[in-house]
Amino acid sequence: MSQPYRLPRGGRIDRGAPLQFTFDGRTIHGYQGDTLASALLANGAALIGRSFKYHRPRGIVAAGAEDPNAFVQLGRGARAAPNRLATVTPAAHGMQVRSVNAWPSLDYDVMSLLGLAAPFIPAGFYYKTLMWPRRLWPLYERVLRRAAGLGRAPSGPDPDRYDYVHARCDVLVVGAGPAGLAAARAAARRGARVILADEQPQPGGSLLASAERVDGVPGHAWAAAAAADLAASPRVTVLPDTTVFGLYQSNLALMVERRREQPGDAAGTERGARTWRVTPRRIVLASGAHERPLLCANNDLPGVMLASATAAYLHRYAAAPGSRAVFFTTNDTAYRAALDLAEAGVPVAAIADVRADPDGRLPAEARARGIQVLAAAAVRRVLGRRRVAAVELCSLDGSPRGVVECDLLGLAGGFAPALHLHAQAGGRTDWDPALAAFVPRRSNGVHPAGGAAGALGTAAALRQGAQAGASAAAAAGFTADAAPAPPGGGPELPSAQDAPDLGFQPYWVPPNALGRVKPQFVDLHEDVTLDDLRLTLREGFEAVEHVKRYTTLGMGPDQGKLANPLATGVLAELQGLHPAAVGAPRYRPAYTPVALGALAGRSVGALSDPLRATPMQAWHQAAGARFESVGQWRRPLAYPQRGETVHDAAARECLAVRRRVGLLDSSTLGKIEVNGPDAGEFLERVYVNTWKRLPPGRCRYGLMLGEDGMILDDGVTARLDERRYLTFTSTSGAAEVLAWLERWLQTEWPELRVYLTSVSEHWACLALAGPRSRETLAAAGTDIALDRQAFPHMTFRAGRVAGVRARVFRISFSGELSYEINVPADQALHVWETLLECGRPFGIAPYGTEAMHVLRAEKGYVIVGQETDGSVTPLDVGLRRMLSRRKDFLGKRSLSRPALLRADRKQLVGLRSDDPAQVVPEGAPLVDAPSRRRPLPMRGHVTSSYHSPALGRAIALALVSGGRASLGERLYAAAPDDRWIPVRSCLPIFYDPTGARLHV
């Protein structure tokens, strides 16, 4: 047993469950119930890290989430957990814990030499230097970056899963200290649904860290019983280990529940976490208060601790934080801690009290116990190398009061309510002069209570808690008389000893009489000193937010929980301002850091984003298709066969369509039924072309513009009957187009009697294309007459295909004879397989989007999003003749704006490379003549470019400034490898310009 600082009795630890872990390789012994910090203290390890900037030795300061120093690295490899706080991390057997920011070792850290240079590295140092010579900045930066940072990121993907839960309640209680427990009980007794969350593994808050009694039993026992009673009620959810890290809009509370290892895990494994997303009606903020440190020189040495933390280690963990203590205080609370330490056998050498006449009950008790109490006194300086060795005391007038040897200095600078969540949510605060701290104002559905409301003392916390719980419940609609069976026993307001008047006296900046001893740290994590603040003010950075940004005060992983309340007072005093005029830097989520994985929740891996599937998806997969992402879909790009590349396969598929027959799964197209007496009128308004006179049974290609005149989407619309049209949209435009149409209908033209219904998912779409598609369709079995007169181009028929009822559209995106066969999705696979089977004698091949792209490019058909980019009009792509002159339509007026009529606009043309084998890279810019000059004016760019298997040459489409007027001109495309590719522009149609193949 090597726990020299472990007390023989007491503590909320399980002495029957010893454990050990390593810290920088050294074995540390502890018990179940210890935190890393308490075990380290019990083992006498005071030095646990190096500071962020100067690499000064640092130890444990607090016993909770507010500690600015105790950041360690846990675990290794993919399970590594950087920057975990030792004061809140439960110790577990077999853990590997390492210090951060020290090299080669914690004791002998090379970078600590920086401390010597500290006088030359004040706040704002970097802005004033490292500018010369400019070339060297990258080098300087590399050095800076290496020195900065804290822990190391994991080395592999996170093996853990994170859970995510939505919850609702009437009252959310933050904190399960006396105030929170009383609040939860009061609210639950009124019938409210309550969630009680506390970041600690056990309920009780400050009760765990004191010897106080509640209702005649030890505080911790009362808390445990009260929490158990609450948990037994079906209306109450008690969540230990759960931090409320953010309060967002509409008081949405985000909480994260830590999950520890599971059976069979390596010890201390963090098993992800569960995020709770709670929508409460009311919130009771019972998050307690944080003690403020005090300034003196070397106040950062290991062994300097908050007075309340010394008591916490003593009572909760039975770990003596030192062997001989001195306290430095502004109020009576330190006396309680000092008495408790002395009681536990840790001698208290002295209490330096800044008050002239500390005469309360507790000081009297201390004196009676023989503790030396120095009034109107302060700690001037802490002495020691890697931990406290002594403190130098003096009177406030500067006269020395001796050097006292000790290894523990307890600081008691008063308490600041933990109002972070309240302030995050925009809640107001008031300056409480008695407390010298900001206290929350009840607002926005947040009811503060206990320490969080500025109350000191358990009795007050219980009282306020019960009141807040009752008023929160009432505000949520629950009153005392409506109460169903109350959870648990015990009185609503348990009894406890009222705290004595603490007699607080502010002490911010040590009086000048004490001399300018340094360094005095205001923010331990960020190594911000009192002198830094002075300098910062001198340089004119006076607003508290400026001070923060210039010095990085409060910007560390602790977010200045200790530093900020201290800094407000210090800055006020240095500037002669009221603290309320100084204010505090803005509070933001997260209260304590939260893993990105926890926020992602279940939305990771296969569940990160829905992958949508067509009815033929499994077939494509089995057929060895290569896929491409199109929005949330994965569409077959091509179906390579043995030894084929995607490119080879697409070429083969193209030829199959041009010469024989191919089958494409185009189920992803959007399909909207436009239904009602005014359907035609509606289409007239949203499309550039006309619809009312389209006869039932016929199809027409349509173009839709934004009000700015730019092409929004295109596609074929068929008239199903007098009052019904079916509109096809592009795959990526499906949702957007429906939303766009619905919006106009509802907000602008409610008088139109039209209903829009998306039928995209109901109808699968199989595009059968190629000269032998008619024979294939016939072979598959259909009752539709297929001959040219009976079923001409741009018409549709209803009937059966392969035994399934179908809508068949004779429309074509390939330029070949083509049937787009729509069948109910649940029978589509059957039809797909039948067509392939029956098409085999005709040489059918399934084809993918790559072949589809090539085929349409050969015909010069544009793809919205490829030829267009939100800045392209129908005029630009040569579709002027589609625009109706007889009617208005969305976007029409925009087309006559001067910039849209300019002759030098980019217009769609075809390109042929001089070398027919040379496929011009897509996206390549086009210029008039090669040149090394930069900038070199650009004429346009290549929008689509392929090798055309049908033509045996490269073809491309491009947008070229003034292109339509100068067809045949020579241009040069710049390849990414800086070669120039000579091309000539042409009409954007390469194959079957007369469209003869469509009308067969």
Partner 1 sequence: MLQIPCPWCGPREDAEFDFGGEADIQRPADPDALDDAAWADYLFMRVNRRGVQREQWVHTAGCRRWFVVERDTVTNEILQASTMGRRP
Partner 2 sequence: MQRYSLPHLIRRGLRGQRGWTRAWRKAAPKPSYDVVIVGGGGHGLATAYYLAKLHGVRNVAVLERGWLGGGNVGRNTAIVRSNYLWDASAHIYEFSLQLWEGLSRELNYNVMFSQRGVLNLGHSAHDMHGLARRVGANKLNGIDAELLSTEQIARLVPILDTSAAARYPILGGTLQRRGGVARHDAVAWGYARAADALGVDIVEGCEVTGIRAAAGRVAALETTRGEIRAGKVGLVVAGNASVLAAMAGLRLPIQSHPLQALVTEPLKPVLDPVVMSSAVHVYVSQTDRGELVLGAGIDAPTSYDLRGSFRVIEHTLAATVELFPIFSRVRMLRQWAGTVDVCPDASPIIGPTPMEGLFVNCGWGTGGFKATPGSGWVFAHTLAHGQPHPLNAPFGLDRFAAGALIDEHGAAAVAH
Partner 3 sequence: MDDPGPSTADRGTTLVERPFLTHVDLRLDPDDRGALAAVRTALGLRLPLEPNTTASPRPLTSPAVIAANGPPRIEDGAGIQTSHPDLRPPAASVLHAFWLGPDEWLLLAEPGAGGMLVRVLRAALHPRAAAVTDLSAGATVLRLRGPEARAVLAHGCALDLGPAAFPPGACAQTLLARAQVLVAAIDARPTFDLIVRRSFAPYAAAWLRDAGSAHGLRLARPRAA
Ligand X SMILES: Cc1cc2nc3c(=O)[nH]c(=O)nc-3n(C[C@H](O)[C@H](O)[C@H](O)COP(=O)(O)O)c2cc1C
Helical pair 333-343 and 307-317, crossing angle rounded to 10 deg: 40
CB of 595 to partner 2, least distance (A): 5
Fill in the amino acid letter for 891. G
Q: Which H or E run contains 854? A: helix 849-859
Torsion of CA 821, 826, 827, 828, to 10 degrees: 40
Residues in 465-524 that interact with partner 2 by CB under 8 A = 516
Site string for ligand NAD, 316-355 (x = CB under 6 A): -----------------x----------------------
With H, G, I as helix, E, B as strand and everything else as coil, classify residue 382: strand
Q: Dihedral of the CA atoms 413, 416, 418, 424 (nearest 10)? A: -130
Q: In the bound complex, what is the minimum distance in angstroms from residue 966's beta carbon to partner 1?
A: 28
Give all strands (DSSP E) within 310-445, no chain letters.
Answer: 325-329, 348-353, 373-374, 377-383, 390-395, 400-405, 408-412, 415-417, 429-432, 437-440
Residue 992: count other Cβ atoms within 10 Å of its Cβ: 15
Sign of the torsion angle spanned by Cα atoms 681, 684, 687, 689: positive
Q: For residue 246, give the 3-state DSSP assignment.
A: strand
Question: Residue 886 Cβ, how far from partner 2 at the closest point, in Å?
Answer: 23
Distance CA 778, CA 801 (A): 9
Binding mask 547-586 for ligand X (x = CB under 6 A): --------x---x--------------------------x
Is the backbone of residue 624 left (phi > 0), alpha (psi -120 to 50) or beta?
Answer: left
Q: Is 935 a residue that touches partner 2 (CB under 8 A)?
A: yes
Total binding residues for partner 3 by CB under 8 A?
A: 55
Single residue of 188, 254, 408, 499 touching ligand NAD by CB under 6 A: 499
SS3 readout for 816-844? CCEEEEEEEHHHHHHHHHHHHHHHHHHCE
**Any idea what the Cα angle at residue 346 is, between residues 309 and 107, rounded to 5°?**
65
Show the binding pattern over residues 691-730: x = contacts partner 2 (CB under 8 A), - = does not: -----------------xxx--------------------
Among 59-67, 291-299, 485-493, 889-897, which window interacts with partner 1 (CB under 8 A)?
889-897
Interface residues for ligand NAD in 749-788 (CB under 6 A)? none
Q: What is the DSSP string of 131-147?
A: -SSGGGHHHHHHHHHHH
- Under the binding rule (CB under 6 A), the answer on residue 897 touching ligand X is no
Q: Does 165 bind partner 1 (CB under 8 A)?
A: no
Report the site for ligand X in 837-896 (rule: CB under 6 A): none
What is the C-alpha to C-alpha distance for residues 58 and 53, in angstroms, rounded to an integer?
12
By the rule CB under 8 A, 385 interacts with partner 1: no
Q: Could you tell me if 435 and 415 are in contact, meaning their C-beta atoms sit under 8 angstroms apart?
A: yes
In whole angstroms, how close is the CB of 149 to partner 3 at the nearest point? 33
Selected binder of partner 3 within 558, 673, 684, 820 (CB under 8 A): 673
Question: Any contact of residue 681 with partner 1 (CB under 8 A)?
Answer: no
How far is it, in rounded angstroms, from Cα 402 to Cα 352?
A: 11
Q: What is d(CA 800, CA 807) in angstroms, rounded to the nearest whole number?
A: 8
- Which residues are within 8 A (CB) of 414 and not within 5 positions of it... i.e. 6 or more apart? 291, 292, 330, 331, 435, 436, 437, 504, 506
**Under rule CB under 6 A, how many of the chain's residues touch ligand NAD?**
34
925 binds partner 2 (CB under 8 A): yes
b/e map 941-969, b = 16+ CB within 10 Å: bbbbbbbbbbeebbbbbbbbbbbbeeeeb
- Name which of 129 and 479 has its Cβ closer to partner 2: 129
Look at the block and give the residue holding tokens 């098993």: 271
How many whole angstroms separate alpha carbon 292 and alpha carbon 994? 86
**918 near ligand NAD, judged by CB under 6 A:** no
Alpha-carbon span 272 to 163, nearest angstrom: 8
Query: Which residue type, as a one-letter code, is found at position 335?
Result: Y
Q: How far is the CB of 744 from partner 1 (least distance, A)?
A: 9
Q: Are 34 and 317 in contact (CB under 8 A)?
A: yes
Least distance from ligand NAD to the Cβ atom of residue 539, Å: 35
Instruction: Name which of residues 147 to 166 contact partner 2 (CB under 8 A).
Output: 148-158, 160, 162
Nearest to partner 3 of 238, 954 (CB atom): 238
Site string for ligand NAD, 380-419 (x = CB under 6 A): -----------------------------------x--x-
Query: Between 628 and 736, whose beta carbon lies closer to partner 1?
Result: 736
Binding mask 78-117 for ligand X (x = CB under 6 A): ----------------------------------------
Quote the least distance from Cβ 967 to partner 1, whole Å.
31
Q: Of ligand X, partner 3, ligand NAD, none, which one does residue 243 interact with (CB within 5 to 8 Å by kind)?
A: ligand NAD
Q: How many CB atoms lie within 10 A of CB 202?
A: 18
545 vs 914 by CB, closer to ligand X? 545
What tokens were used for 465?
A: 């808690």
936 binds partner 2 (CB under 8 A): yes
Q: Identify what 205 binds: ligand X, partner 2, ligand NAD, none; CB under 5 to 8 Å per kind.
A: ligand NAD
DSSP state letter for 747 = I
Which among 732, 697, 696 is positioned nearest to 714, based on CA atoms?
Answer: 732
| 287 contributes a contact to ligand NAD by CB under 6 A | yes
Give whichever of 222 and 541 is closer to ligand NAD, judged by the CB atom: 222
One residue of 405, 430, 545, 761 binding partner 2 per CB under 8 A: 545
Which of partner 1, partner 2, ligand X, none interacts with 753 (beta carbon under 5 to 8 A by kind)? partner 1
Please list every residue from 791 through 810 that binds partner 3, using CB under 8 A: 796-799, 803-805, 807
Q: Enumerate residues 131-150 that contact partner 2 by CB under 8 A.
A: 131-132, 134, 137-138, 141, 144-146, 148-150
Q: How far is the CB of 743 from partner 1 (least distance, A)?
A: 6
Of 630 and 752, the one with the shorter C-beta distance to partner 1 is 752
Closer residue to ligand X in complex, CB, 308/559: 559
CB 557 within 8 Å of CB 523: no
Hunting for tokens 């039209």 — which residue is that?
754
Which residues, numbered 57-76, are part of the site for ligand NAD (CB under 6 A)?
A: 64
Residue 549 in contact with partner 2, rule: CB under 8 A: yes
Residues 164-193 binding partner 3 (CB under 8 A) are 164-168
Residues 896-915 binding partner 2 (CB under 8 A) are: 897-900
Footprint (CB under 8 A) of partner 1, residues 265-284: 277, 279
Tell me how far, at minimum, the Cβ of 287 lies from partner 1, in Å: 21
- E strand or H helix that includes residue 232: helix 219-232
Q: Which stretch binds partner 3 (CB under 8 A): 178-186, 424-432, 606-614, 684-692?
A: 606-614
Alpha-carbon gap, residue 229 to 491, rounded angstroms: 12
Residues in region 200-259 near ligand NAD by CB under 6 A: 200, 205-206, 243-244
Residues 6+ apart with CB under 8 A from 463: 182, 493
Question: Rule CB under 8 A: which residues touch partner 1?
Answer: 248-250, 252, 277, 279, 426, 676, 707-708, 739, 742-743, 745-748, 750-754, 888, 892-894, 897-898
Question: Rule CB under 8 A: which residues touch partner 3?
Answer: 163-168, 237, 239, 259, 262, 274, 277, 279, 602-603, 606-607, 609-615, 633, 673, 675-677, 720-721, 724, 726, 753, 755, 757, 759-764, 796-799, 803-805, 807, 824-827, 830
